[in-house]
Structure 1
């Protein structure tokens, strides 16, 4: 005989939820003997200080164990995850105080000490309904198992057994929904009281997003470095080889017709221009010297290539993270480009200092001023700095000078 799928699911769900409720009776009643002993001992001896101290110690020791048991019970039997409380990396007085304020361990104690016994009564009620339903539904079976004398002395058992059977069947039919409702009712306070608080969950989520954002930034920066290496070692070298061959052709074949020499000379010039453009593109992606020798050397090369005089001061105790160096480099590069192309500046000053765990970058030029902080270039710089939780500021009054400041967290 094939059991209908709906009936099979209802039976399995009733068995799972009823087993979940049955497994919760003992953990929920585990601390009842403690406060019952405390009450009776205090009433008998009057030594409330001793009983309260011993009871508090037992509760504090038992609460984490009961929490772990309940966490396993919820996860294994009904698939509800009660997150663990994140402990501080290093236990100090300050970190312990913050952890106690965030986790509020008295919520767990209140759950096990006060709410647990009430939930146990509810669980016992559901189990009693299940037992009554089974007993009523199987009334004919166990009544015929009774001795004949007892059945004969049972007045009206032939008319009562159908009622017992029908009532038991109704209770069993209602059991899947009843057990499910009670299990859901239990899960809601358990997640809120045994798991981290809402503030702690939000803080953990913020920390996870910050880590994932940092990983994404580092991955993008690593990919930019890979593209730079591929262009430098592949395409750029091919263009250099092409330009050299064209130059050799012009130098070693003076007998070529004038039109051919003109075409080769033009191709040679375009190849050199393409190399220069590709070099600018590669340097814009990620300068190789920045990765090899650090921010100081990269900025020295940048200052040397800038058409206007640049006074450069770099004061770094150690190298910062690659992403921080990259953002600092591009802030300074864009600021010097703007000073050259748009501000008609005569000179510029670049100051890079590490103050504590902050890398401070300041670029000043004596140009015309009036830079638009909402422009595409400066907005892009602000977003780059903001991706590292840094601060970006532009001061550019009409007539100058223009000062661009960036502060980047550089703690490793």
Structure 2
């Protein structure tokens, strides 16, 4: 998930596009740089077009096997992303057109989820459209550019190579070794060669302008199909702001928990101790029983309030999470009245640790599922598996209870059941919550969360 200040891939610094007037055309580096782009785009567009044709042919031939056909199609769509990365590089280097990379491809969990995420990738289909349209455009612009550049250069240098052309008999009965422009008119004298060179120079100014014009067609095509769409940028910005909101909320809850623990809770402990001492002194000094009872009741109420406050603080942010999700879950399992087996598979350096907000969501999901199992499932044990796969955190919670757990829709007052609340909390960070709980058991809950918000 995106965490930078920009919702799309950062663009390297690109010099601004040089403005070239008509008279500066042949002498501007932009002209010859864009001509070089047209020469490179021609063979590369052939490769891209062949790629699309071959992959579509493979998809059609394997369509009888659904897995093979859809798999090849998905690979083609995602592969087009990688190929057009070269086109963005060429546009940036030779056309001086910075094009941001599209929003990153996101693979959904599971085989069919992965295949569908590839097939439905909008950026991949735009890349395929670009590869298809780039081929005829590159062919046309290459021919136009070569014609409008080579012909003027040929006219300007005719006085060098024209003399080596095979001699032809003109209408005057004489042999001429120059080019025949029209019937009976040959460029074979110094004056005609000079005039032809001047005409070629004029055509060169026109040709360089045409070259820049057709190169701009490539610039427009690349900018419209290879960059992120306005909708994807908006979604990325919303996800980015959502991620910051989740992190801010988690940070606020942590601060509240610390304040309760270090401030309010400590003061209540002091008050409880003072009331306890007052009770002992009242009993020792023979104070009226009514007053002693009031002090005793206040002492008891204070201790009960302290217990509730500790439970509240623990519900806001369990202190065990300060040492990471693995330690928190192992501590939870050790304190559980139901046997719980925890299996943690999170390789890599500490930098690969999930975001604090993600750890909090994962921890409370396990707590809620454990509580439901103890209350309703009549289970003899629970198994919790936590795996880090790339940029995704996977949780599998399984119990051997009676099953029958379902996610209920909100009631008329908008209240959720425990499982619905978990699904909503997981969905708030674009996670997936899947439950399988047939009657008679077992119950399996699979939760997928991003490593970062």
Structure number with the higher helix fraction is 1
Q: How has the CA–CA distance of structure 1 residues 340 and 256 changed in structure 2, closer, same or farther, with 3 Å as cutoff?
A: farther
Q: How has the CA–CA distance of structure 1 residues 233 and 347 changed in structure 2, closer, same or farther, with 3 Å as cutoff?
A: farther
Q: 2:382 aligns with which of 344, 349, 354?
A: 349
Q: How has the CA–CA distance of structure 1 residues 192 and 247 changed in structure 2, closer, same or farther, with 3 Å as cutoff?
A: farther
Deviations 1:300-347 (A, max 9, x none): 332344333333333333532212211110100111111223x15353
- The question of whether the paired residues in 2 share the 8 Å contact of 1:85 and 1:103 is answered with no
Q: Which has the higher contact order (CA 8 A, sep 6+)?
A: 2
The aligned counterpart of 1:230 is: 259
Partner-residue secondary structure (3-state), 2:228: helix
Q: How has the CA–CA distance of structure 1 residues 244 and 210 changed in structure 2, closer, same or farther, with 3 Å as cutoff?
A: same
* CA displacement at 1:196 relative to structure 2: 4.0
Matched ranges for 1:269-280 at <5 A: 269-280=300-311
The aligned counterpart of 1:158 is: none
Task: Using the TM superposition, name which of 313-322 and 377-386 deviates more.
Answer: 313-322
Structure 1 residue 256 and structure 2 residue 287: aligned?
yes
Structure 1 residue 337 and structure 2 residue 366: aligned?
no
Quick one: distance in 2 between partners of 1:333 and 1:301? Answer: 11
Quick one: distance in 2 between partners of 1:344 and 1:54? Answer: 67
Quick one: distance in 2 between partners of 1:283 and 1:394? Answer: 27
Structure 1 residue 86 and structure 2 residue 100: aligned?
yes
* CA displacement at 1:275 relative to structure 2: 1.4
The aligned counterpart of 1:75 is: none
- The question of whether the paired residues in 2 share the 8 Å contact of 1:85 and 1:196 is answered with no
The aligned counterpart of 1:210 is: 239
Q: How has the CA–CA distance of structure 1 residues 62 and 323 changed in structure 2, closer, same or farther, with 3 Å as cutoff?
A: closer
Partner-residue secondary structure (3-state), 1:307: coil
The aligned counterpart of 2:225 is: 197
Quick one: distance in 1 between partners of 2:331 and 2:41? Answer: 69
Quick one: distance in 1 between partners of 2:381 and 2:356? Answer: 25
Q: How has the CA–CA distance of structure 1 residues 350 and 262 changed in structure 2, closer, same or farther, with 3 Å as cutoff?
A: farther
Partner-residue secondary structure (3-state), 1:370: coil
Matched ranges for 1:365-404 at <5 A: 365-374=399-408, 375-404=416-445
**TM-score, normalised relative to structure 2:** 0.50
- The question of whether the paired residues in 2 share the 8 Å contact of 1:309 and 1:346 is answered with no
The aligned counterpart of 1:298 is: 328
* CA displacement at 1:213 relative to structure 2: 2.5
Quick one: distance in 1 between partners of 2:102 and 2:23? Answer: 29
Deviations 1:366-410 (A, max 9, x none): 444322312521112112222333221122233333332212233
The aligned counterpart of 1:326 is: 360
Quick one: distance in 1 between partners of 2:93 and 2:449? Answer: 44
* CA displacement at 1:360 relative to structure 2: 2.5
Partner-residue secondary structure (3-state), 1:308: coil
Quick one: distance in 2 between partners of 1:247 and 1:297? Answer: 36
Q: Which has the larger radius of gyration?
A: 1
Matched ranges for 1:358-369 at <5 A: 358-369=392-403
Partner-residue secondary structure (3-state), 2:438: coil
Deviations 1:137-182 (A, max 9, x none): xxxxxxxxxxxxxxxxxxxxxxxxxxxxxxxxxxxxxxxxxxxxxx
* CA displacement at 1:215 relative to structure 2: 2.2
Partner-residue secondary structure (3-state), 1:253: helix
Q: How has the CA–CA distance of structure 1 residues 273 and 193 changed in structure 2, closer, same or farther, with 3 Å as cutoff?
A: same
Q: How has the CA–CA distance of structure 1 residues 334 and 365 changed in structure 2, closer, same or farther, with 3 Å as cutoff?
A: same
Quick one: distance in 2 between partners of 1:102 and 1:205? Answer: 22
C-alpha RMSD over aligned residues: 4.6
- The question of whether the paired residues in 2 share the 8 Å contact of 1:332 and 1:350 is answered with no
- The question of whether the paired residues in 2 share the 8 Å contact of 1:361 and 1:407 is answered with yes
Quick one: distance in 1 between partners of 2:226 and 2:38? Answer: 30
Q: How has the CA–CA distance of structure 1 residues 195 and 224 changed in structure 2, closer, same or farther, with 3 Å as cutoff?
A: same
Task: Give the length in aligned residue pairs.
Answer: 277
Quick one: distance in 2 between partners of 1:28 and 1:222? Answer: 62
Q: How has the CA–CA distance of structure 1 residues 365 and 100 changed in structure 2, closer, same or farther, with 3 Å as cutoff?
A: closer
The aligned counterpart of 2:39 is: 56
Partner-residue secondary structure (3-state), 2:440: coil
Structure 1 residue 221 and structure 2 residue 250: aligned?
yes
Quick one: distance in 2 between partners of 1:404 and 1:217? Answer: 23
